[in-house]
Amino acid sequence: MGTVYLVGAGPGDPGLITIKGMECLKTCDVVIYDRLVSYQLLEYVNEDCIKIFVGKEAGCHSKKQEEINQIIVQNAKQYESVVRLKGGDPFVFGRGGEEIEELLNNNIPFEVVPGVTSAISVPASVGIPVTHRGVSQSFHVITGHTKSKDDNTLTDNYEILAKMGGTLIFLMGLSNLEQIADNLIQNGKDGNTPVAVISNGTRNNEKTVRGTLHDIVSKVKWEGVVSPAIIVVGDTAALQLVQTKRKPLSDLKIGIIGTKEMREKLEKGLQPLGAEVYTVCAMHLEETSYVHQLQEEMKNIEKYQWIIFTSQNAIHIFFDKMQTFQIDRRILNKIKFAVIGSGTKQALQKYGYIADFIPDKYTTKELAREFALKVSCEDKILIPRALGGSEELTEILKENKFEYKDISVYDIKGKLTENREYLPDMDCLIFVSASGVNAFFEEMKALTIELSENIKIACIGEVTVEAVKKFNKKVDIVASVSNIDSLMEEIKIYFSNYRDEFKIGENICIE
């Protein structure tokens, strides 16, 4: 019998989940989630975590609460840690109480991890305080879609609501907006009362429409506002206490195709610039059957004068295998190291070694060309690298009569994540390897998903660029130097110029 954690995911922005909620996600065996949860949060679960979607999918009916209850119970009986991930807070119209009642009936231990409720945080994100001195001393949260058994009218007492002071906050009420406005006016609420409707709150596609009870319905229809949305009624809805200064990549959705290490670096660099970052295709490393060849070469490593590393992954695997095979690092004392760029240089330094050779231009071709010019062809070379690595390296070495051992110690494979649902709205995709390009487009083809022609493509390295072109796609952004920092700078410059050209976001401030 395991423990069930009812975790509030917050209002939408994945950064607004609590620290305790995030820790539950990182350690759980099963996560049960619905459509109001940001799929970005699923990136933090373990690779072997079971992910169960219980929300509404296109063309399908949403699961009934009774079904969800049984799914939670069944998984709690099989696994040690089960997270029931719910949008906002589990107890604010989230039916968390019903799920707990079912757990109690089955004697299943549980813990509630409260979340940031959208009722307060979403208005705050657009500068609307639900209480404000001299304006509103109270707020009231009302469900916007509760209906009676006999008809489609809302069952809330509008005679009382219309006479209440303070701020009225309706959750899940967009489809009933006209009924809500009419009922409030008919029961005495001034038709000029300010109203704000906030769609996709706290996300970078957040949209706010402001008006009054008289005109908010027509304005929302004109703007094409979609659910999920929150309706704020009261004098505070007229306030807009926000900074007008925006960041370089504000409002941009960027998808990443890469390993966890690469994804984390890109997130740390792009999120402070205002971008919302999604892992679209998660790449993972798999050792090949050729690793045993590396073990044999390590036993006789003294015969080599150089080891060439073309990736950080190769460095990590090499030193990990030295430890696994219990090979004393002191045998490397006379070995020199060549690396492809600044990232691999830093990775090598973490193991206590300084690179002896780095090409002026961070490409495999340039590495091979410069290496052949500066190193004696009598030196023997070991090259542990990825399966399907660039043939330019070995071809140039062969042309210059070098003796080398090329071992494919790992392969990179990928799978589309739940974030693929956000692809239609994305502005840019980042590819950092040819293997990532191949995995992404093959998965897209298998799932018959078409990539929008409007989405921009950013790449590191010419090999990656050529891989994209093979799928008949245009590359818009290429790193001037083949590393993450250069790529992020090029993305920043590109979208700044793009916005200037099309007069988008004229108040953007490049920092």
Length of the chain: 511
Indicate if 469 and 387 belong to the same structural domain: no
Percent of the chain scoring above 70 in pLDDT:
93
pLDDT tens-digit profile of 357-410? 999 888 888 999 999 999 999 999 999 999 888 889 999 999 999 999 999 999
Residue 243 lies in a domain: no
What is the total count of domains within the chain? 4
Q: Which residue has the tokens 């070991």?
A: 382
- 3-class SS of residue 431: strand
- Residue 121 is predicted with a pLDDT of 96
Q: What is the pLDDT of residue 60?
A: 54
Q: Is 66 in contact with 73 (CB distance < 8 Å)?
A: no
Instruction: Please give the radius of gyration of the chain, using alpha carbons only, rounded to the nearest integer.
Output: 28
pLDDT in tens, 283-321: 988 999 999 999 999 989 999 999 999 999 999 999 999
Distance CA 399, CA 384 (A): 20
Of 116, 146, 162, the position where a domain reaches its end is 116
pLDDT 10s digits, 314-358: 999 999 999 999 999 999 999 999 999 888 999 999 999 999 999
Residue 441 and residue 390 share a domain: no
Task: Examine residue 506 and state whether it is found in any structural domain, yes or no.
Answer: no
Unique residue bearing structure tokens 């007008």: 244
The type of residue at 253 is K
Q: Are residues 445 and 402 in the same domain?
A: no
70 and 159 both lie in a single domain: no
Shared-domain flag, residues 392 and 426: no
Residue at 216 is within a domain: yes
What pLDDT, on a 0 to 100 scale, did the predictor assign at position 363?
83
The enclosing domain of 469 has a CATH number of: 3.40.50.10090
Residue 245 within any structural domain of the chain? no
Where in the sequence numbering do the catalytic residues fall?
Answer: 34, 56, 172
The alpha-helical segments, DSSP class H, found in 329-390 are 342-349, 364-374
Q: What is the pLDDT of residue 409?
A: 94
Residue 511 belongs to some domain of the structure: no
pLDDT attached to residue 371:
95
Question: Span 470-478, mean pLDDT?
Answer: 94
Pairwise CA distance, residues 278 & 419, whole Å: 6
Q: Rounded to a whole number, what is the largest CA-CA distance in the chain? A: 94
Q: Are residues 278 and 345 in the same domain?
A: no
Domain harbouring 190, CATH code? 3.30.950.10
119 and 231 Cβ atoms separated by less than 8 Å: no
Indicate the residue among 412, 430, 464 that finishes a domain: 412
**pTM above threshold 0.75:** yes
Residue 328 amino acid letter:
D
What confidence category does residue 59 fall into, taking pLDDT thresholds of 50, 70 and 90? very low
pLDDT for 501: 53
Q: Are residues 22 and 93 in the same domain?
A: yes
506 pLDDT higher than 50: no
C-alpha 81/C-alpha 4 separation (Å) is 6
pLDDT band at 98 (very low <50, low <70, confident <90, very high): very high
Q: How many CB atoms lie within 10 A of CB 488?
A: 22
Both 399 and 452 in one domain: the answer is no
Could you tell me if 466 and 376 lie in one domain?
no
For 47, 53, 144, 205, the CA distances from 57, given in Å and listed in that order, are 23, 9, 22, 20
- Band (245; pLDDT cuts 50, 70, 90): low
pLDDT interval class at 508 (50, 70, 90): very low
Range of the domain at 375: 287-412
Residues 404 and 297 in one domain: yes
Predicted confidence at residue 509, as pLDDT, reads 32
Q: How do the residues of the chain divide into helix, strand and coil, expressed in percent and rounded to 5?
A: 40, 25, 40
- Please confirm whether the linkage preceding 228 is cis (ω < 30° from 0): yes
> What is the DSSP pairing of strand 253-258 with strand 403-416?
unpaired
> Does 247 reside within a domain?
no
pLDDT value at position 185?
A: 95
Q: Does 293 fall in a domain?
A: yes
Q: Tell me the C-alpha distance between 210 and 256, whole Å.
A: 34
Closest by CA to 265, choosing from 486, 38, 434, 476, is 486
Tell me, what DSSP letter sits at residue 154?
B
Q: Are residues 40 and 101 in the same domain?
A: yes
CATH number of the structural domain spanning residue 103: 3.40.1010.10
The pLDDT score that the predictor gives to residue 263 is 86
Q: Which of 116, 137, 165 is the last residue of a domain?
A: 116
Judge whether residue 154 has pLDDT over 60: no
In tens, the pLDDT along 252-266 reads: 999 999 988 888 899
Residue 291 lies in a domain: yes
Q: Would the pLDDT of 146 be above 70? A: no
Q: Give which of 95, 115, 127 is closest to 41, Cα–Cα.
A: 115
| Burial class of residue 261 in the structure, from the number of CB atoms within 10 Å of its CB (0-12 exposed, 13-18 middle, 19+ buried) | middle
Distance between CA atoms of residues 460 and 121, nearest Å: 38
Tell me the pLDDT band of 56, cut-offs 50, 70 and 90: low
How many Å apart are CA 341 and CA 362, to the nearest integer? 5
What pLDDT score does 511 carry?
30
Residues 396 and 294 in one domain: yes
With a pLDDT cut of 90, the percent of the chain lying above it is 71
